[in-house]
Structure 1
Amino acid sequence: MTRNRVPTIELGGTHVAVAVIDATARAIVDGSYAARSIDSSGSAADLIDSIAASARTLGSDHTGRWAVAVPGPFDFDAGIAQYSGVGKFDSLHGVDLRARLADALDADPASFTFVNDADAFALGEYAAGAARGLSRFCCITLGTGVGSGWVVDGERTDGAAPEGELHLLEFEGRRIEERMSRRAVRAAYARRARCATAVPDVKEIADRARGGDPIASEVLEDAFSFLGRALDGPLARFDADALVVGGTIARSWDLLEPPLSGGLGRTGFPVLRAELGHEAPMIGAAFAADATLLSAQGR
């Protein structure tokens, strides 16, 4: 059993989560998942201590080959953080996270595989979620921003966006996240509804739209339609089989899917709701690490 179990860490902007992934079943081992809040503005020592403390809860009934999903910017091959001016983890800039975690966990530095969190999410959906059986697809996550992963036959690629990152793409003279992100949606609602204070979050704006608020409906429809138009070109250039959509904003699927599909302007093109939620990046990171291990062993 141990040889099929991959210990996995997922580092988010406000949390660190850990789990053991059954690489054969492509699922989290029952009882192994745990998450804790972290302060992304904390010191490097405090952040690494929190990550390591969470990782230790996984015990030793696993391969010891660690899969780590982290946000960019990050040197994934070297294991070195490159955060600077992105509003989180600034203290980790230039830190060799591979070496520091290996030391804290008494592990071999070579046992760590680092994976971009958006790529890991996409690979998780490919391994065990909505993208099962797809050859070429793009997976986006909608929340504080627009994350993106591009997958061909189970391997991540840069797809049809700068460095594989859709948030770097410009459309209609603006970066995508200036129109489609938590910040952008809230700002658009505040502007149209003339909210001076107490601007509602996206979930509340969605609830208001369902309740008949015309401004809320217009704001969301504009944002999701814009996203569809912005993605149409990249998806065509990539020759994608489908678009998979996850993230917190995708919980408002009833409001998101119609204008997004309409913006894409391609009749019958599959727009699929992600199935795995918080499990996706962990399963995807383990999937990538397991494939890396098998390749290194020549199997």
Structure 2
Amino acid sequence: MTRNLIPTIELGGTHVAVAVIDTGARSIVDGTYRTRPLDSGGDADEILEDIAAAARTLGSDHGRRWAVAVPGPFDLAEGIARYSDVGKFDALHGIDLRARLADALEANAISFTFVNDADAFALGEHAAGAARGLSRFCCVTLGTGVGSGWVVAGERTDGAAPGGELHLLEFEGQRIEARMSRRAIRAAYARQMRLTAEVPDVREIAELARSGDPIALEVLEDAFSYLGRALADPLGRFDAEALVIGGTIARSWDLLEAPLSAGLGRPGLPVIRAELSHEAPMIGAAYAAQAALAGSRIS
């Protein structure tokens, strides 16, 4: 088995994670995964130093082809952050992360491959998770917002969404995330319960639903059913073989699957829970970096 080691960084809204990925084994090298808190509302120098400090823990016993999974909006080709009024990483707007990380890590700037985090998640599931063997699928990640990755024959595509991003689509007169996102679910529950403070998070709302709280159950069923209806047309136009669902909200699969499938209204389309969690975007980003170097697709 070929042992190709790629150091990988995954940038999240509240954390930075790093690991060395063995693309031959399609897995994280034991003992290399680390995560640390990250203040996405901090200033640019603090954010960049936290990222670099996490990356330095990987040492040098690996290849020097870095993979970086980042949330959008981001100029992946140039390595420049385009965050502006998105609620996180605004201080990085216009900054050349490729150059700054190369300097901080004493690496060659051209060794960095940037990958959208939702695309990386989808590619990771294709390489080592629930989407192995699929040739055409959409992977939707549910958490702070709605992320989406579209894969055809091991390569990411834009699928049936602008730039590949479902959250930019409008359905029933509003953006999808206005009804299906962490913020939207919490706001809907607060309205129904007439709460003005101490609004429970989605995980707590899910626990309330399981314990028989009718308002919590109604709020979640409404959000998941809406998502299904919103996805029906894009998935049909894409001719997807399957829909893969990941992200933190997918942990409430027992509450999500039925209303999502009912809203989707496509009994012949498999709705599959992602098998990986934190590993998915890191494995996918590493594979994308390897493919970029080789000029080939992920197989």
TM-score by length of 1: 0.97
Partner of 2:74: 74
Cα deviation, 1:30-78, whole Å, max 9, x if unaligned, reads: 0000000011122211111111111111111111000000111111011
Partner of 1:166: 166
Q: 1:293 to 1:223 in 2, by over 3 A?
A: same
C-alpha displacement of 1:197: 2.3
Quick check: 2:186–2:202 contact (8 Å CA) kept in 1? yes
Partner of 2:40: 40
Cα deviation, 1:93-129, whole Å, max 9, x if unaligned, reads: 1111101111111111110000000100010000000
Q: 1:88 to 1:2 in 2, by over 3 A?
A: farther
Counterpart amino acid of 1:92? L
Distance 2:155 2:248 in 1: 25
C-alpha displacement of 1:2: 9.6
Q: 1:22 to 1:15 in 2, by over 3 A?
A: same
Quick check: 2:229–2:264 contact (8 Å CA) kept in 1? yes
Paired positions, count: 296
Partner of 2:99: 99
Within 5 Å, give how 1:146-165 maps onto structure 2: 146-165=146-165
Partner of 2:289: 289
Partner secondary structure for residue 147 of structure 1: strand
- List structure 1 runs of 4+ shifted beyond 6 angstroms: none
Cα deviation, 1:201-232, whole Å, max 9, x if unaligned, reads: 11111111111111111111111001000000
Partner secondary structure for residue 144 of structure 2: coil
Quick check: 1:80–1:96 contact (8 Å CA) kept in 2? yes
Counterpart amino acid of 1:210? R
Quick check: 1:2–1:63 contact (8 Å CA) kept in 2? no
Quick check: 2:3–2:24 contact (8 Å CA) kept in 1? no
Quick check: 1:228–1:263 contact (8 Å CA) kept in 2? yes
Partner of 1:18: 18
Quick check: 1:124–1:280 contact (8 Å CA) kept in 2? yes
Cα deviation, 1:158-215, whole Å, max 9, x if unaligned, reads: 0101111111110011110111111111111111122232211111111111111111
Distance 1:51 1:191 in 2: 38
Q: 1:196 to 1:104 in 2, by over 3 A?
A: closer
Within 5 Å, give how 1:251-266 maps onto structure 2: 251-266=251-266
Partner secondary structure for residue 261 of structure 2: helix
Quick check: 1:3–1:62 contact (8 Å CA) kept in 2? no
RMSD of equivalent CA atoms: 1.3
Distance 1:100 1:201 in 2: 35
Partner secondary structure for residue 63 of structure 1: coil
TM-score by length of 2: 0.97
**Larger deviation, residues 196-205 vs 261-270:** 196-205
Instruction: Say whether residues 1:30 and 2:9 are aligned partners.
Output: no
Partner of 1:249: 249
Partner of 2:145: 145
Distance 2:53 2:213 in 1: 46
Quick check: 2:2–2:24 contact (8 Å CA) kept in 1? no
Partner secondary structure for residue 8 of structure 2: strand
Quick check: 2:15–2:38 contact (8 Å CA) kept in 1? yes
Instruction: Say whether residues 1:58 and 2:58 are aligned partners.
Output: yes
C-alpha displacement of 1:268: 3.0
Partner secondary structure for residue 99 of structure 1: helix
C-alpha displacement of 1:3: 5.9
Cα deviation, 1:273-296, whole Å, max 9, x if unaligned, reads: 011101100000001001111128
Partner of 1:177: 177
Counterpart amino acid of 2:197? T
Partner secondary structure for residue 130 of structure 2: coil
Partner of 1:128: 128
Quick check: 1:71–1:117 contact (8 Å CA) kept in 2? yes
Gaps of at least 5 residues in structure 2 are none
